[in-house]
Homo-oligomer: A and B are copies of this chain.
Amino acid sequence: MRKVFQAELHQIGEELIEISQLVSEAMQKATSAFESADTELAQEVIAADARIDFLQNDLDERAIDVLALQGPVASDLRMIVGALRMSASLERMGDLARHIAQLARLRFPDNVIPESIRPTFAEMAELDIAITAKVTELLETRNLELSNEVYAHNARINELHAGVFKAIAAADWDASSPTTVDVTLASRYFERFADHGVSVARKVTYLVTGEWQPSAPLN
């Protein structure tokens, strides 16, 4: 019984890592599609999101089965409840990567973002990709140094996100209103993506240390 249980816990952990890898891949492709107005790559991201949703459901069902059949307690129980929550965050990150790809497809052959503000978006994209890579590694290794790096990336993304709104409010902003809408939504997607990465990192940290780190509410 104990052996089966350990195997199932291991399987849940592996599935979480797999979802995280798929999200990382989705975000890499989505930002590439977004930056180079590549509609085929965007379409790939949109199609691949169904796989993430499927795996999340699968993981959740598996976790509920383990709860029902094994009646885990203490740290095992917290790990399973944590996995349910992390899978929800990862699934949402997949959705946000899809939204970014959808914006790229919607505006094709145009680029979503005006040239003047592309460096800001390039940095946000790079940081979001770094966050997914670190979240995946964190799930694999539980090296909490990675959590701190995720928090730092998120703080920088929040600055960049605020910078986007400053740029839009500046006298020299001459983009059309629909472009302003796109820029606003895209910036929000990148920023929310990072927030969910922070949620996952916090949960891993909590599982390892047993200490919840209260912090300012996320947006």
Which residues on A are within 8 Å of B, measured CB to CB?
49, 53, 64, 67-68, 71, 73-74, 77-78, 81, 84-85, 88, 95, 98-99, 165, 168-169, 173, 175, 177-178, 180-181, 184-185, 188, 217-219
Interface of A: prevailing SS: helix
A-B pairs, top 9 by smallest CB distance, nearest first, are A71-B71, A184-B184, A169-B178, A180-B180, A68-B73, A181-B184, A168-B177, A177-B180, A68-B77
For this chain, the copies found in one complex come to 2
- Identify 20 new A-B residue pairs, CB closer than 8 A, beyond the known A168-B180, A181-B184: A49-B217, A53-B217, A64-B81, A68-B73, A68-B74, A68-B77, A71-B71, A81-B84, A88-B88, A95-B217, A95-B218, A95-B219, A98-B217, A165-B181, A168-B177, A168-B178, A177-B177, A177-B180, A184-B184, A185-B188
Which chain B residues lie closer than 8 Å to A218 at the CB level?
A: 95
Contact residues in B for A68 (Cβ distance below 8 Å): 73-74, 77
* CB-defined contacts of A74 to chain B, threshold 8 Å: 68
Whether A173 contacts B177 by the Cβ 8 Å rule is yes
A177 touching B175 by the CB < 8 A rule? yes
